[in-house]
Amino acid sequence: MISISTHSAKGGHRGPGLYQVDPFVTSLHNIRAAPSVFSPIVGTLEAYDVIEVAQTIQLCGQDGCPEFWAQLLRKTAGPAPWILMADADCEYLVKLLRSGEALKKPEDWVPPLPDETPYGEATQSVNFYLAAALGDETSDLPDMITALADHECRLGREAAALAILEEEANSLREEARAYERELERRRGDRAATQRRFQRLKQREAWNIANAQIELQLVQVEDMLDDAMDNAEAACASQLALQRAREREEAERESEAQRRRRKKAISRLGAQLAASVGEDAEVKKLEVSSVGSDSKLLEAMAGLETLVGRRYLQGGAALTSLEAFVKIMRKL
């Protein structure tokens, strides 16, 4: 915000009037086309120069500190230039209440050359000419002002073009950021698709492996069933062979027992025949006992009959006959 000020900052007076460039502060002081330190330089004042100010304003500088600017009084047509009166660091112009208060320039004072000043490159010879021509009606200052106005218009057009370029650059940057976001999104989608495809491949591999394992399990179960069947068949055959052997052994043992019985009957029959004296009946009994096992009971009954008959005839051989009968019953 621009404010018109007529009071003093740092104790000096402000407002229209006469001002002198303070020689104790600066040797050269720039005149600018606008109240800004970034505006073009249109002239330069030397120390001890006296100027007439039309108005003063207060602005806020780039660093936030106040700046006091003075608009020079023009006696010809054209825009009036501006000069910095004071800032936060120092005061460049001193206000004169009367023209006789101006400091006299020493005779031996020599103004510095433009290249010896901080703004040597920006301060040109034309700037000195403009400073000297201020207030001179015979000078070609209107032409210079027109050139400065054209220069300002050109700078404005360049600034507008620069603003347009900045807007385009901002839009391009926004498009680039949008493209980057879209690229990141596509990368994320691609990564998600790859992970999903990897899971599908793993699932397919698992299904194939599971099918192979199930097939191998079925084959192993079939092999186990075949092995169990073979083992059962072998066990059954072994059991049948063992039972056949047992039957053969039992038959052989029964045959041996029958033979022993027959021999025992034959011996006892011979002893009984010898003791009783009835050889014919004993021989008949022997023959009948030798025939088959089914007649063993008949032979034993015959022996009992003989024993009974022997007992009726006389009890001499009863004891031996009873012992024989007991033995035969055990057999």
Q: Is residue 216 part of a domain?
A: no
Residue type at 255 in one-letter notation: E
The total number of structural domains in the chain stands at 2
Q: Report the half-sphere exposure of 28 (CA within 13 A, side-chain side).
A: 21
How far apart (Å, rounded) are the C-alpha atoms in residues 52 and 73?
A: 6
Residues contacting 6, CB < 8 A, separation 6+: 14, 15, 56
Q: Is residue 288 part of a domain?
A: yes
Helix or strand (DSSP H, E) at 3: strand 3-4
Least confident of 76-85, 216-225, 317-326: 317-326
Q: Is residue 182 part of a domain?
A: no
How high is the pLDDT of residue 213?
A: 92
Q: Is residue 214 part of a domain?
A: no
How high is the pLDDT of residue 304?
A: 66
How far apart (Å, rounded) are the C-alpha atoms in residues 241 and 2?
A: 130
How high is the pLDDT of residue 3?
A: 33
DSSP 37: T
pLDDT tens, residue by residue, 219-229: 999 999 989 98
Domain CATH number, residue 59: 2.30.30
What stretches of 27-88 adopt beta strand conformation (E)? 28-32, 41-46, 50-60, 66-72, 82-86
Give yes or no for residue 9 having a pLDDT over 60. Answer: no
Q: Which domain holds residue 83?
A: 3-135
- The DSSP annotation for 73-126 comes to P-SSSSPPPEEEEE-SS-B-EEEESSGGGSPPPPTT--PPPGGGSTTTTT--HH
Q: pLDDT class for 41, splitting at 50, 70, 90?
A: confident
